[in-house]
Structure 1
Amino acid sequence: MTSLQNTSTTTETTQTTALYNALNVQIANWSLLYTKLHNFHWYVKGENFFTLHAKFEELYDQATVYMDDIAERLLAIGGQPVATLREQLELSTLLEATGTEQANQMVSSLVEDIATVSTELTETIVLAEQVSDQPTADLLIGIRGEIEKAAWMLNAYLGR
């Protein structure tokens, strides 16, 4: 009986660690997106400058909220959020801006990033549900819904 309990505890610990790690990837990605969106905000040029300049600002403001909400949730459940740029760059699954993107390339890059983050959010939601952490799953489901709407809008801008 003790062996079975130890196996169960080990599995729970492994699943919890996987959840912590996945949440840290989300924090890293939102940190990278925050910086990338500032780059785009500052360097966008062309006939759609005003539209994109404002949209990029809206998105980096939202990235700040997502990063903070996920980090605070991670602290609330006993984890430790990555809090240095070095750690965040190592963990992020996204690419930094090159600084040479044209306006439509900026938008396309964001659509790709949102698709990556959305897929990873889905995986992290599953991890949260495996450890019966519905509040974390709910937080991530809300974020996923919001970024899917943002992707739809960005795709519409691109005429897709």
Structure 2
Amino acid sequence: MKYAKTKEILNQAVADLSQMSMVIHQTHWYMRGPGFLTLHPMMDTFMDDINDQLDEISERLITLDGSPYSTLKEMAENTKIKDEVGRWDRGMEERLAILVDGYRYLTELYQSGIDAAGDEGDNVTEDMFIEFKGATEKRIWMLQAHLGKAPEIDQ
């Protein structure tokens, strides 16, 4: 099957981006404390970016004759991003650190997509994953800077 590994990673990204969107929503809904007025609206931007990536990845998968996951059950069964019940006892730093962990996972997934698409000669998907990886690394840098830490991209 043409682009088999690339399509597998694209569908993994569908599940993981859907879950990451929910993790960001949870951060948005459950945050309290210093920085709220700045960070709360920022989460809208984060959600928009993830949802744009999700749409582009899903449409690319369809373009390659794939079938993106499209049910909550499929997303839950296939995501590799941790699912947790919302809690009010988490501070802003802990919430942002959870986002960093999710974004780090996505950069690894995107690198897998870059490698697979490159190996399978799908330069369009490879380019898309390169763009998303760069944007996600920038998001990590900004969140880490807010937390008073170095980006630690190569960790």
Aligned to 1:6: none
SS at match of 1:156: helix
Aligned to 1:60: 47
What is the count of residue pairs matched by the alignment?
147
Deviation at 1:57, TM superposition (A): 1.1
Q: How does 1:80-119 map to 2 (within 5 A)?
A: 80-100=67-87, 101-119=90-108
More off after superposition, 20-29 vs 92-101: 92-101
What CA distance in whole angstroms lies between the structure 1 residues aligned with 2:84 and 2:123?
A: 34
Aligned to 1:125: 114
What CA distance in whole angstroms lies between the structure 2 residues aligned with 1:113 and 1:99?
A: 16
Give the superposed CA RMSD: 1.2
Q: Does 1:141 align with 2:110?
A: no
What CA distance in whole angstroms lies between the structure 2 residues aligned with 1:102 and 1:47?
A: 9
Aligned to 1:22: 9
What CA distance in whole angstroms lies between the structure 2 residues aligned with 1:153 and 1:21?
A: 30
| Equivalent AA in structure 2 for residue 117 of structure 1 | L
What CA distance in whole angstroms lies between the structure 2 residues aligned with 1:69 and 1:106?
A: 27
Deviation at 1:32, TM superposition (A): 0.6
What CA distance in whole angstroms lies between the structure 2 residues aligned with 1:23 and 1:84?
A: 16
Q: List runs of 5+ in structure 1 lacking aligned partners.
A: 1-12
Identity over the aligned pairs, expressed in percent? Answer: 29
Contact 1:39–1:97 at 8 Å: present in 2 too? no
Q: List runs of 5+ in structure 2 lacking aligned partners.
A: 150-155
TM-score (structure 1 length as normaliser):
0.88
SS at match of 1:147: helix
More off after superposition, 123-132 vs 67-76: 123-132
**How big is each residue's C-alpha offset from its partner over 1:59-90, in whole Å with a ceiling of 9 and x where there is no partner?**
01111100000000000011110111111111
| Equivalent AA in structure 2 for residue 114 of structure 1 | Y
Q: Does 1:43 align with 2:19?
A: no
TM-score (structure 2 length as normaliser):
0.90
Aligned to 2:152: none
SS at match of 1:87: helix
What CA distance in whole angstroms lies between the structure 2 residues aligned with 1:71 and 1:113?
A: 19
**Bigger Rg, structure 1 or 2:** 1
Task: Return the match for 2:147 from 127, 136, 158.
Answer: 158
More off after superposition, 91-100 vs 71-80: 91-100
| Equivalent AA in structure 1 for residue 13 of structure 2 | Q
Task: Return the match for 1:71 from 54, 58, 62.
Answer: 58
What CA distance in whole angstroms lies between the structure 2 residues aligned with 1:31 and 1:144?
A: 17
Aligned to 1:8: none
What CA distance in whole angstroms lies between the structure 1 residues aligned with 2:55 and 2:30?
A: 26
Q: 1:54 to 1:157 in 2, by over 3 A?
A: same
